[in-house]
Structures are given as C-alpha cells and as structure tokens.
Structure 1
Amino acid sequence: MKQFKLHSFFIALAGAALLASCHKDKVAPTTDKPTAQRAGMYVLNQGGVGHNNSTLTYYDYSSKTLVADQFSAANTAQLGDTGNDLGIYGTKMYIVVNNSNAIYITQAKTAKQIKKITLNQPRSVVFNRNYAFVTSYNGTVSVIDTASLTITKTITVGDDPEQMAISNGKLYVANSGGLLYPNPPTNTLSVIDLNTLTETKKITVQVNPISVAADSYNNIYVLSLGDFNTVPAGLTVVDATTDAVKSKPSVSLGYNVPIYAQGDFIYYPTTTDNISFQIAVYNTKTQTVSATNFITDGTVVTTPYTISGDPSTGEIFIGDAKDYSSNGSVVAFDKTGKKEYSITAGINPGKIVLVNK
C-alpha cells in the first residue's frame, strides 16, 4: 500500500535493475523535527528481488540516530528477500517478507522476533478486531489471531491479491492477477464481511488493481497499473456502503502507485513520462483533485515508492527509491508541503510506520 508502492514483480516487468548495496550501522540524518509522542520511525526496505537484502531502518526521534537494519541488530539474522509490508498492532509489529515466504512478528519497540509464520508469497497486512489479515499470491487472505499468533482461517479471494483496506465492516482486497503474464491481469476487488470472515462478492475495477485506501466517508480508492500495454493505469472510487463504483477519475499514473489516506485527503504520485513525478492530493469530501502537487517548495522526489504520514501533526512522509539499486531516502514534509528533513533508507523503501513511546 501496501503502501505497498512499485511492487517487486512489477519492477521486474519494468526492467529496473535491483542490485545489492551496503549499509552502515548508523547514518546521521540532515535535520529533524521530532513528534512528541512518537518514539521513532521504521522503514521497511524491499531490497532487490532475489538478492536477499531486505532491511528495516529505524530512526530514533530522541537521539536523532539512524540504525540501518534494526531487525538484524535485534535478532542477529537477516530479514530475507523482498520485504513487502509492515504494520504495528498493539505492542507487536508484523513484517511481511514476500520472496522468503515469511511473516515475522516482533516486539514493536525493539523489532525483537517473537514468532515467524511461513506463508506462500505473502504481500500485505491490515488489522481489525484482534486479527491480522495477510494477502498471499496463492489467491488467499490468511486470518491471524493476534493473541495466539496462529492462522485461524484462510479465505479464498482472486488472483495474486495485493493491498487491502477496511471500511463499513468490510475488508476490500485488490486482486491484481499480476503474475498471470503473458495472460492479461485481472480487474476485481474482493469484499470480505468482517463478521463472518467470508467473501461476499467481487467488484469490477480497473485492470491490475494494486493499491487500496479508505477514507472517513465510506469510500474505497483503488489504484490500478493497467496491463503495461493497451490498458492504462487508473483510479477507481468505490462506495463502501453500496459496493458500487462511484467514479473513475482521470489520473496520469506511472509504474509507481503508492496511495495514502490522511484526514480528508488521498495522496498518490502522478506522472506523464515515468521520469518526473508529482504527489497529487485528492479531496475525499468534495471528490475532486485539490492539488496537482502536494510538494510546494520545489523539493524533488525522484521515485516516490511509498507514502505515509502522521495524522497528529499533518506531516507526510515520502519514500524515494531513487534508482532502485542504491540506498533510498525518506523525506518528511509539513502539512503545507514544505520539506522538514530527510533520512537515509535502504534499497527501495517500501513501507513507513511510526512507533509510539
């Protein structure tokens, strides 16, 4: 989403070379404006597909130090291949590592491993009422009890499910079909009733849905990559009350399709050439684009790979993958779109989460 971002397999389709790179134990950021109740920021770096070099960067707000791989430091072990998603629920953190077929459950404050769950090509994780839901490329959503840390149910959805979002008592799952190549990808959004934990329907959206976000007005936003040929990437807005498609706003998307909801706004990257990017701001209350570029001070983000934020301050964080093969960065902006600071991340920073004190 899930933030997901340009996912590893689509990077391969786009022909980007993902190579290994070295990290130092601590790297000093430029400047900092820490948030009072936050302990720090985790950044899950995907690394390169097949290079077994995923890392978990940790930036401590108090000491202003950056640990390049907190998972390795806490566990004397490597994360593995293609870390794809990251989430904190209560005192635990869930790290989804796609190509290593692993979900690491750790202590949120230290990243010390509590348990490892093996799952076939897991992709994304969301949480609801003491359950963690994890998509898997075998066409399922696994339901993990967050107390026992065991899989209690497996729900069949569509082909190659990616990101998810929760709204109006339902879980919405993007079925990409991205691995069906050379056959065309699929175009459905599964709807799972969170009371019965069963799929109730599939909604037709634009082809190859990847990233999903929910607003506070019972709307679901789905970014799709298209078929990389004749069908372009696009945005679908779904009414979570009726499960009907409300609109398909005109957008110019590239191969990078992270999406993030905060307050009354949805943030996502746009481009016309896959070279220069802007961060569009979509007003969820008026259902209109309120800004073609959130960044107002001229700061350049080369390759926006993930978008996150801090609702308590209005800050927006953008992970920049740069050239996909060397260390990326995370740039923090205030709510007016002006840069506050940046930190060095690992290769392909794909998910950002904040941990409280």
Structure 2
Amino acid sequence: MKQINTLFAVAFASAALFSSCSSDDDDNDLPKGDYDYGTLVLNEGAFTKNNASISFINAADELTNDIYSTKNGETLGDVAQSMAFEDDKAYIAINNSNVVKVVDRYTMMDITTISEGIYTPRYIVFEDDKGYVSNWGDPNDSTDDFIAVINSSTNTVEITISVAEGPEALVEEDGKLYVAHKGGYGFGNTISVINLANNTVETTITVADIPDTMEEEDGYLYVLSSGKYDWFTGEETPGAITKINMSDNSVAEVLDFEVGVHPSHLKIEDDIVYYTLGTEVYTKGLNAALPTTALIDVASQGAFGIYGFEVEDNIIYIGDAKDYASAGAVYTYNTSGTYLNSFTTGISPNGFYFND
C-alpha cells in the first residue's frame, strides 16, 4: 500500500509540474495589455496646443487613436518628441511641457511624470537601468544644454552632464554615449562621446552640418547630416552620411550629397541603409555609393514630406504631418517598395515604437 501511495504521489507531482509548466508557457503568450503585439505611433501634436497623442496599430492592421487619453482621462502634453522603452515601461519626452512621462507600454496607464532635472527634452536611450535624455535647456541659451541621467528604478534624475548646444539623437555602445549636436536654435556639426563610467565628454567628432539621425551597425556609427538650407540659415551646405569607427572614433568614410540635397531619417535594417529626401525613400548597401533612384515616393499618397520614418520587420513606416494642425497620416510599405496600407492618426506622427 505504501508503494502504491508513493507511485501515486510521484505521478501526481509530475502531473502538477507539467500543468504548472504548461500554465507558465500559456501565461507567457498572453497579451500584457490592450496594446501588446502592435505598433505605437507617437503623434507630436501642435506646438502650445497640449494635444500630443499616441495611436496604436494592432497585428490585424486595426487603428486606435488617443490611447493614452482614453486610459488616463487626460491629454499627453505639449509636443511629444520621442519615446523609449525600458522593460515594461515607456518613457516619453514631452518637449514643450518640459517633462518625461512614464507609462506602462502595454496598458498605457500612467506611472509617473519626471519634471525635476528635465528642460526641453528631445531623445532618450537606456542602458543598465539608466536612461539618458538629451535636453536643450532654454533654446535661446546656447550654454545650458545637457544630458539628464534617469534612474529607472526610482524614475528620478540622478545627475546631469553638460554638453554643447542642441543635443539630439543618442546611441549607446560599449559604455559610451554618442550625442548628435544638431544645434538647437543654432546649427551644429559635432558628435560628443561621453564615457558613461565617469559621465564626462571624452572626445568630439566633427561631421557635416546638422547631424540628424544616427545608427550603429557592426562597430560603426553611421551619422546622417542634413546640411544647412540657404533659405533658413543664409548658407547652403551639403548633407552627408559619415561612417565612424567606434573603436577609435575615427572617420572611416564620408558620402557627400550634392549641394542643395538635404536628406533625413537614417535607418539601418538587415544591412540596408534607408534614408529620406523630401517625399522619397532611398536605400543602399552599407558599403555602397549613394543611389540615384528612389525606392518609394509618397507624393503619390498626397504627402508633402516625410515627418516620421521607421523600418521594422520588413515594413517601412512613414508619418505624414500634412498641415501640422489636423489629423496626420501613416503609410506602410514593404521593403520592396510595395504600398500596403494607410491610417489616419493624431497630429504630426513623428515616431514608431514596437510592442512585440
């Protein structure tokens, strides 16, 4: 009888263990919230109008607008500049509200708002539970720009790091933070390299005027600079893609665009470089010359320009700000250039972030 009971106990324990493992596996497949398995579209809103918003495109290509306001009963803020993820949290830089808003990235429920130590925030990256936020400070003051370092456990700014005017895009790699100085209200042409072990700027790399976006690939930093517009700056300079060897911060290659050509929105996916010119999307291999023919022209969709841009899982996402005051649009294409879909979003869709 004792042996039978022992065998029964072993069988019961095995069944319970199997059931527990199966339950855990099932739980891992369950959505973490209403906005899991899809694309978050950050809509900048109109300056001073306090109408920034977030839209969601689910896996079935169904769009839901104003998801933050729906969940929290309040507006997101004044000019949503960018978003970054840290575990289950989304950190949103609300530029003209001078805050970083922290929400659950899957439910959109508000967690907290970081305001102390934040002043005109632009972009955010995370590394080792630290968030690094580029801040312009007072845009009319060229000397008060900084990087705020956020402790993601306490959601407070621990320290700030003074940098040159107009810090924008950020890339973290191997304990170094690369900061593109687009220039704020001025016009920059440098990349600062911050050693995160001591939070000091250890070197500066000169690139073409107005570095717009950066991507890291295979130990190289690719920096796209738009160049200066004569009508805006009083001086015309060409755009360029600068390839920097991150092992020694030397410039490995510069691809100059023709004078009067001003590219933006550099992305790299599967060793293909994507960038935009006006209403067009261009592609090239990592080591190829600049192309002469566009992959996509969204003028066919009635777009005036490309305001937001991303490439993810063989899909190209394009944000169209239209008149910057009413509903914007998002267009999707596959990476062969075939049109897929369009969506009507909030005002000025400027970024795409992926919950999967």
Query: Structure 2 length normalisation: TM-score?
Result: 0.79
Partner of 2:58: 60
Partner of 1:261: 268
SS in 2 for 1:248: strand
Are 1:127 and 2:126 matched, yes or no? Answer: yes
Partner of 1:106: 103
Give, in angstroms, the shift of residue 131 of structure 1: 1.6
Partner of 2:331: 331
The 1-side partners of 2:338 and 2:36 are apart by: 21
| Aligned mate of 1:304, from 306, 318, 330 | 306
Partner of 1:319: 319
Distance 1:298 1:178, change over 3 A: closer
Distance 1:247 1:83, change over 3 A: same
The 2-side partners of 1:291 and 1:346 are apart by: 33
Identical aligned pairs, as a percentage?
27
Distance 1:224 1:178, change over 3 A: farther
Q: What is the CA deviation profile of residues 297-351 of structure 1, one whole-angstrom value per residue up to 9, with x for unaligned ones?
A: 99545311121122xx321211122232332211121121111212111111111
The 1-side partners of 2:293 and 2:170 are apart by: 25
Partner of 1:198: 200
Distance 1:309 1:245, change over 3 A: same
SS in 1 for 2:296: coil
Give, in angstroms, the shift of residue 135 of structure 1: 0.3
SS in 1 for 2:71: helix
Distance 1:176 1:38, change over 3 A: same
More helix by share: 2
| Aligned mate of 1:140, from 139, 146, 150 | 146
The 1-side partners of 2:92 and 2:205 are apart by: 29
The 2-side partners of 1:42 and 1:249 are apart by: 33
Give, in angstroms, the shift of residue 296 of structure 1: 8.2
Give, in angstroms, the shift of residue 93 of structure 1: 0.5
Q: How does 1:44-193 map to 2 (within 5 A)?
A: 44-62=42-60, 64-118=61-115, 119-138=118-137, 139-180=145-186, 185-193=187-195
Structure showing greater Rg: 2
Distance 1:281 1:168, change over 3 A: farther
Q: 4+ residue stretches of structure 1 with deviation over 6 A?
A: 253-256
Distance 1:291 1:223, change over 3 A: same
Q: What is the CA deviation profile of residues 244-287 of structure 1, one whole-angstrom value per residue up to 9, with x for unaligned ones?
A: 2233312267677222222212221124xxxxx21121322x24
Give structure 2 stretches of 5+ with no counterpart: 1-34, 138-144
Distance 1:326 1:243, change over 3 A: same
Q: Which moved more, 1:88-97 or 1:295-304?
A: 295-304
Q: Is contact 1:80–1:100 with CA below 8 Å preserved after alignment?
A: yes
SS in 2 for 1:73: helix
Give, in angstroms, the shift of residue 132 of structure 1: 1.4
The 2-side partners of 1:122 and 1:309 are apart by: 24
The 2-side partners of 1:48 and 1:243 are apart by: 38
The 2-side partners of 1:283 and 1:168 are apart by: 25
Distance 1:195 1:270, change over 3 A: same
RMSD: 2.4
The 2-side partners of 1:316 and 1:199 are apart by: 35
Q: How many residues align?
A: 307
Distance 1:246 1:287, change over 3 A: farther
Distance 1:255 1:349, change over 3 A: farther
Q: What is the CA deviation profile of residues 34-67 of structure 1, one whole-angstrom value per residue up to 9, with x for unaligned ones?
A: xxx96111111111212222111112225x5422
Which structure exhibits the higher relative contact order, with contacts defined as CA atoms closer than 8 Å and separated by 6 or more residues? 1
